[in-house]
Copies of this chain bind each other. A is one copy, B any other.
Amino acid sequence: MSAKIAISIGDYNGVGPEIALRAHPQIALTCTPLYCCDRALLEAAAKRLHVSLPDDLISVPLNLPFEIRPGVVEAQSGVYSYASFMKGVELCEEGEVSALVTLPIHKEAWAKAGLSFVGHTDALRRHFKQEAIMMLGCESMYVALFTEHIPLREVALHVSQKELTRFLMDFVAALGPSKVGVLGLNPHAGDHGVLGDEERAIEAAIAECNAALGAPIFEGPLVPDVAFTPRVRAHYRYFVAMYHDQGLAPLKALYFDESINVSLGLPIVRTSVDHGTAFDIAYQNRADLQSYLNAVHAALDFSQPK
């Protein structure tokens, strides 16, 4: 019997249900997906898309009201997508499934529903009351973010040996012993202190972690604008970026359609597509399935014991 994976359906006014339905035949070849939503929702979505509901489809009911209105930002769909997500978390915690794959929610719909989380990762942190590492990427290249959704002007203030050491140790604990490239913060990685000196803290954190691990797991600080060139990329599957756009701009330039989001360091494994609800193309049979297929694949991969 193949591994069970929970799928939260995302905002039903966006592309979530369409992606789940259209990709089902493919993902059912590698796992048993449990869709966290009422069967009637999938039936209504299938009808809109002019596709038939697969025979082998398993849904976990939420027993909540819904009405599909493509592209509409509203409290009802916000409540539903949150309930779907939390049902997926519950299934993971109960050991019913190996991992959770989340389809995109709409942040404003959550806000209208009175939910104050910035997104899935934030909600997971507050549910589990612990830090999580946000990593994005694909088979070729993953980037973990040391800082995430903060203004650029605040980034340098967060780069300390202590905080980075903690992050890197959490990262290796979640990932297993893979070689990791750690980026510098400044242009030319500070150019020996001429263009900024945070690289000293980064160097010290790398040295501290490698000493603690007894192995040269972490390498760097890498020169940020060279780290993602083909020659350097060839040496690393995993990178740690000091800030959001440092890692994600090169990643998305190279692998936009393939990328997924992974939450590491939590009691459960959760992966996600790396795109939004795409309200503008909802229920038009136009959504790209690649990121979702990769998210399911990564959920299976990262839930294997390391």
Residues of chain A having any CB pair with chain B under 8 Å? 148-153, 155-157, 185-188, 190-191, 195-198, 224-231, 233, 243-246, 248-254, 256
The interface residues of chain B lying within 8 Å CB-to-CB of A248 are 225
- B151 adjacent to A153 (CB under 8 Å): no
- A249 adjacent to B227 (CB under 8 Å): yes
The interface residues of chain B lying within 8 Å CB-to-CB of A230 are 256
Q: A150-B187, A151-B156, A246-B245 are in contact. Are A254 and B252 (CB under 8 A)?
A: no
CB-contact partner of A152 in B155, B228, B244, B254, under 8 A: B155
- B254 adjacent to A225 (CB under 8 Å): no
Q: How far is the CB of A142 from chain B (nearest CB, A)?
A: 15
The interface residues of chain B lying within 8 Å CB-to-CB of A243 are 187
- A186 adjacent to B249 (CB under 8 Å): no
The interface residues of chain B lying within 8 Å CB-to-CB of A229 are 252-253, 256
Task: Report the bound CA distance from A199 to B220 in whole Å.
Answer: 32
Number of copies: 2
Q: A186-B151, A187-B150 are in contact. Are A228 and B252 (CB under 8 A)?
A: yes
Q: How far is the CB of A190 from chain B (nearest CB, A)?
A: 8
Q: How far is the CB of A228 from chain B (nearest CB, A)?
A: 4
The interface residues of chain B lying within 8 Å CB-to-CB of A226 are 252
Q: How far is the CB of A43 from chain B (nearest CB, A)?
A: 33
The interface residues of chain B lying within 8 Å CB-to-CB of A191 are 149
Task: Report the bound CA distance from A253 to B198 in whole Å.
Answer: 24
5 contacts between A and B (CB under 8 A): A148-B187, A149-B187, A151-B186, A229-B256, A231-B256
The interface residues of chain B lying within 8 Å CB-to-CB of A148 are 187
CB-contact partner of A150 in B195, B227, B244, B246, under 8 A: B195
Task: Report the bound CA distance from A198 to B148 in whole Å.
Answer: 17
The interface residues of chain B lying within 8 Å CB-to-CB of A197 are 151
* Closest residue on chain B to residue A191 by CB atoms: B149
Q: How far is the CB of A158 from chain B (nearest CB, A)?
A: 11
Q: A225-B244, A230-B256, A244-B225 are in contact. Are A151 and B249 (CB under 8 A)?
A: no
* Closest residue on chain B to residue A242 by CB atoms: B152
- A152 adjacent to B187 (CB under 8 Å): yes
- A151 adjacent to B195 (CB under 8 Å): yes
Task: Report the bound CA distance from A225 to B248 in whole Å.
Answer: 6
The interface residues of chain B lying within 8 Å CB-to-CB of A250 are 228, 249-250, 253
Q: How far is the CB of A12 from chain B (nearest CB, A)?
A: 24
- B244 adjacent to A246 (CB under 8 Å): no
- Apart from A148-B187, A149-B191, A249-B250, what 18 extra A-B contacts exist at CB < 8 Å? A149-B188, A151-B156, A151-B187, A151-B197, A152-B152, A152-B198, A153-B155, A153-B196, A153-B198, A187-B243, A224-B245, A225-B244, A225-B248, A228-B250, A228-B252, A228-B253, A249-B249, A250-B253
Task: Report the bound CA distance from A256 to B225 in whole Å.
Answer: 10
